[in-house]
Structure 1
Amino acid sequence: MKRSVLIIPFSILIHLVIINLTLFTLSYETYNNMVSIVYYNLSWLLITFAIDFYPTKRNERFFTNFHKVLSLFLIFSLAYFTNFSFRNLTIYPAYQLKVLLVIFVTIIIYRYIFYYLRDIYRVEGGNFVSVVVIGRDRKLKKIRQIFDQPELGYRYKGYFDNHPSKSITYLGEVDKAFDFIRNNVVDEVYCMVSRLSSDQINELIAFCDNNLVKIKMVPDNKEIYTRAMNVELFGNVPILNLRKLPLDTDVARYTKRIFDVVFSSLVILFILSWLIPVIGLLIKLESRGPIFFKQKRHGVNKQSFFCYKFRSMAVNKEADTKMMTKNDARLTKIGKFIRKTSIDELPQFINVFNGDMSVVGPRPHMEAHTREYENSVDKYLVRHYAKPGITGLAQIKGYRGEVVVKSDIINRTRLDIFYVEKWSLLLDVKIIIKTVLNAIGGEENAY
């Protein structure tokens, strides 16, 4: 950010002060050693560097990249407890978790205060950049939506284009931009590539470079962009990657996998350990057949795996081709109950523990339906970039169970793609909480 070179060092210093002061006050017996002091501080610095935690963009807000905060806390917690094993220290897990919680809550409070004060400062006129746009196309309106938010610190002066306009932000034809930039304080120029020739673009680049003005290019408008797009450089050749996904990074994958293993282990240990015999007995008393229903479904990268559920239907030949429908004659009495309460899905925590599934993700479909939808639903296979989940964004939005009309699967796919492109650990937690609330309150499509 402009004139803010001290923000990152200041934030690092504040965070280290919070960590050291908290440990000194609440866990002195594990902290009063130079090795521990160096270890805790170095661990924090190395982890934040590895996940690129501190660099901030002008349009970053409190919840922007919040998944990095959660990842940082999880990894630092693991590093924190590792020190106990190396030094043979007496550990009181419950108390030490409280110590870590104090550190993390304090840092989150600092983060909130930082962004709150920064926004106020910008609204009052500080820390801003003045911008003009060269060329007008359909993207100008979208960019204006960013520029017109005062807390982001932009001061939009107007645009230049060779097609005259009565708009109050129209500043004249493109060739008048040079004098305007010279005679006014302009920090950044946004250039609409679709509206300018190569010669005009090169002239603008040379002019901005020679006048210490930053120039940014808005790519040609071909309507091919996605929420997950980013630019990669192959040498000095820019390459547009339309599918740069959060889960492509090692840190994100490991964070999600650790969360899945811990969560599924707790469910298997404290719920499935006693629930399987109880539900299994009820299933056996009502109908012949196995306790578990095992079906091949497509997972990440369209790889097949066996998905487990409590059997809710009488054994039938259509199980692998026909989706459950309302008032389905194949449904047993106990099956109706466990499907209504979503208990039938709980054995999938075994799939999660084994690594075939995740707690949260796009729901896996039977192979026959995947083959059908990949040919009839646009971008359907994008959902297979992530591991399938026991629950997902589409499910908490009401798109679960039977596909009655085509819009059901289209909207389900749209929400699944949004999840894949916008994944964060915080989003997973929100989906899990909403899923539990829906299960308690009951869902219309749970049959």
Structure 2
Amino acid sequence: MQRKIGRYSKYLRPITITFDLFVLVTLALWLLPNTFQTFYFYIYLSFSWIITAVITKFYQVYRFTKLIQIAQKIIKQYFLFALNLFALNGLFSLTQQYKSVANYLFFTAIIIVGVKYLIFWLLKLFRKYYKGNLRKIVVVGHDDLTHNFIKFVTTNDDYGYALHQSFSLLKAHPEKIIAYCQENKIDEIYLSLEKTNTKQVSYFIDYVDNNLKLLKFLPSKKDLLSANLKVDYYGVIPVMPSRTTPLNDPLNHFIKRGFDIVFSSLVILGIMSWLTPLIAILIRLESKGPIFFKQKRHGLDYEEFNCYKFRSMFVNEHADIAEAVKNDPRITKVGAFLRRTSLDEMPQFFNVFIGDMSVVGPRPHMINFTEKYAVKVNKFKARHFIKPGITGMAQTHGYRGEIENDTDIINRIKYDIFYMESWSLLLDLKIIYLTIKNALKGEKKAY
């Protein structure tokens, strides 16, 4: 769920996980006795490694992570992974084959840990000597902590923070600082909380929420004692992100993504497999054109993706620029039924399965609507900090369908941000229940 601004690659972590699983399975085939050589064992092996990694945050390694912290993750990971092997086969049976198991754990650790440290060091060298993988930052403040932070980032090139400018709020107004950040495409703002008032902090928070940037606080000792935020340490300097959500936690992220995969798979196999041909026949009997309607929408981190629906309108040139209104002449008879029952949204379960969307989340809008409201409505872009959903809290509380006035979109954003900051699996289940209930009852704005 993190912004990808300044990241080395969104593919590096999945590649690393795939490599580790390949090593685990390959060495199991080579080193473990025949009693282990079953398909179910390899499924168990892979899932236990992934679940353990989520718990230990094994793959949560950032540019500011210390070597000792990586070592702690490795020890926890292999301790729990070894326990899983014992739990599967029993202590007695594994004790009889302890040499094979010990060799397996030893050699997998050598390869996986070696590659993990190698990538970590190569990225540091890449930042330091080739000036790649950099994040452009500004620092705002006028105290000792600000001075120490500036000294840290300028003397530790391997962290990859390119300091473009530092500002004092005694000399520069927040508007001037924001203008500089926009002009120079700054990725992150580090704001000292010492001698900074609430109005100034709110100004910077509004900017990053509306522009999908990162704001991090440099807290005083008093702030640390009273804060309820996550604290990272750059060297010995505490840094707090301005916005943390439950889905920033790897375990919660894993649970939500796991639920999305299982739920979308059940819908695709159990419903879409027989429903799609029936709807396809009805659509083609009434009008010529494709069965599915594909439209560009903004998703996580404001990235575009193709959102799929069953076609509910006659083919027309305004489909991507004008939303449906009541008694819209473009809507077919079959389409009216599909929209009234929300069946037109069913193909979006494919979007969920491949990872563009979630079952529950802020509803994605057409590109031109997103760009319009991103400028017009405060904090509109903040809803793109998480994946869009087939259904959402706003839709189950009366704000679905046509946007008739600014109040509609403002209330949608309030519900979306509340959902983002209050996420739980139970909340997702409640929203799904309310969505089904509302669809069966019928909704006024389902047109």
**TM-score normalised over the length of structure 1:** 0.51
Tell me: CA distance 1:268–1:240, structure 2 relative to 1, closer, same or farther (3 Å). Answer: same
**In structure 2, C-alpha distance between the alignment counterparts of 1:81 and 1:332, rounded to whole Å:** 58
2:267 is paired with a residue whose SS is helix
How many positions carry a matched residue from both structures? 253
2:301 maps to 1:301: yes
Letter in 2 for 1:345: E
2:240 is paired with a residue whose SS is strand
Deviations 1:208-253 (A, max 9, x none): xxxxxxxx946899xxx9xx95444434444332111222222222
Deviation at 1:434, TM superposition (A): 1.0
- Tell me the equivalent position of 1:63: none
Deviations 1:92-121 (A, max 9, x none): xxxxxxxxxxxxxxxxxxxxxxxxxxxxxx
Letter in 2 for 1:443: E
- Tell me the equivalent position of 1:335: 335
- Tell me the equivalent position of 2:435: 435
2:394 is paired with a residue whose SS is helix
Q: What are the residue-to-residue correspondences of 1:114-263 with 2, within 5 Å?
A: 217=222, 229-263=229-263
**In structure 2, C-alpha distance between the alignment counterparts of 1:256 and 1:381, rounded to whole Å:** 21
The farther-off stretch of 245-254 and 310-319 is 245-254
Deviation at 1:265, TM superposition (A): 0.6
**In structure 1, C-alpha distance between the alignment counterparts of 2:308 and 2:86, rounded to whole Å:** 35
Deviation at 1:432, TM superposition (A): 0.7
- Tell me the equivalent position of 1:396: 396
Percent identity, please.
52
Tell me: CA distance 1:281–1:424, structure 2 relative to 1, closer, same or farther (3 Å). Answer: same
- Tell me the equivalent position of 1:413: 413
- Tell me the equivalent position of 1:354: 354
Deviations 1:376-412 (A, max 9, x none): 1111111111111100111111111100010100110
- Tell me the equivalent position of 2:173: none
- Tell me the equivalent position of 2:369: 369
After superposition, the CA RMSD in angstroms is 3.8
Deviations 1:103-160 (A, max 9, x none): xxxxxxxxxxxxxxxxxxxxxxxxxxxxxxxxxxxxxxxxxxxxxxxxxxxxxxxxxx
Deviations 1:65-94 (A, max 9, x none): xxxxxxxxxxx9xx999977999xxxxxxx
Q: What are the residue-to-residue correspondences of 1:244-323 with 2, within 5 Å?
A: 244-323=244-323
Tell me: CA distance 1:365–1:48, structure 2 relative to 1, closer, same or farther (3 Å). Answer: closer
Deviations 1:41-71 (A, max 9, x none): x99x9799648xxxxxxxxxxxxxxxxxxxx
**In structure 1, C-alpha distance between the alignment counterparts of 2:305 and 2:90, rounded to whole Å:** 39
Higher-Rg structure is 1
**In structure 2, C-alpha distance between the alignment counterparts of 1:384 and 1:244, rounded to whole Å:** 14
Letter in 1 for 2:426: L
1:393 is paired with a residue whose SS is coil
Letter in 2 for 1:326: K
Letter in 1 for 2:243: R
The answer (yes or no) to whether the contact 2:341–2:440 under 8 Å persists in 1 is yes
The answer (yes or no) to whether the contact 1:358–1:387 under 8 Å persists in 2 is yes
Letter in 1 for 2:363: R
The answer (yes or no) to whether the contact 1:320–1:366 under 8 Å persists in 2 is yes
The answer (yes or no) to whether the contact 1:230–1:242 under 8 Å persists in 2 is no
Tell me: CA distance 1:304–1:240, structure 2 relative to 1, closer, same or farther (3 Å). Answer: same
**In structure 1, C-alpha distance between the alignment counterparts of 2:319 and 2:86, rounded to whole Å:** 48
Q: Which has the higher contact order (CA 8 A, sep 6+)?
A: 2
**In structure 1, C-alpha distance between the alignment counterparts of 2:86 and 2:339, rounded to whole Å:** 42
**In structure 2, C-alpha distance between the alignment counterparts of 1:82 and 1:340, rounded to whole Å:** 54
**In structure 1, C-alpha distance between the alignment counterparts of 2:257 and 2:86, rounded to whole Å:** 19
**In structure 1, C-alpha distance between the alignment counterparts of 2:342 and 2:245, rounded to whole Å:** 30
**In structure 2, C-alpha distance between the alignment counterparts of 1:410 and 1:269, rounded to whole Å:** 37
| Structure 1 gaps, min length 5 | 1-38, 52-75, 88-192, 195-215
**In structure 2, C-alpha distance between the alignment counterparts of 1:391 and 1:363, rounded to whole Å:** 6
**In structure 2, C-alpha distance between the alignment counterparts of 1:268 and 1:290, rounded to whole Å:** 20
- Tell me the equivalent position of 1:324: 324
**In structure 2, C-alpha distance between the alignment counterparts of 1:240 and 1:261, rounded to whole Å:** 32
The answer (yes or no) to whether the contact 2:54–2:251 under 8 Å persists in 1 is no
**In structure 1, C-alpha distance between the alignment counterparts of 2:444 and 2:85, rounded to whole Å:** 45
The answer (yes or no) to whether the contact 1:300–1:386 under 8 Å persists in 2 is yes
**In structure 2, C-alpha distance between the alignment counterparts of 1:362 and 1:336, rounded to whole Å:** 23
**In structure 2, C-alpha distance between the alignment counterparts of 1:316 and 1:445, rounded to whole Å:** 22
**In structure 1, C-alpha distance between the alignment counterparts of 2:268 and 2:297, rounded to whole Å:** 22
Letter in 2 for 1:354: I
The answer (yes or no) to whether the contact 2:55–2:251 under 8 Å persists in 1 is no
Deviation at 1:302, TM superposition (A): 0.9
The answer (yes or no) to whether the contact 1:298–1:367 under 8 Å persists in 2 is yes
The answer (yes or no) to whether the contact 1:268–1:349 under 8 Å persists in 2 is yes
- Tell me the equivalent position of 1:445: 445
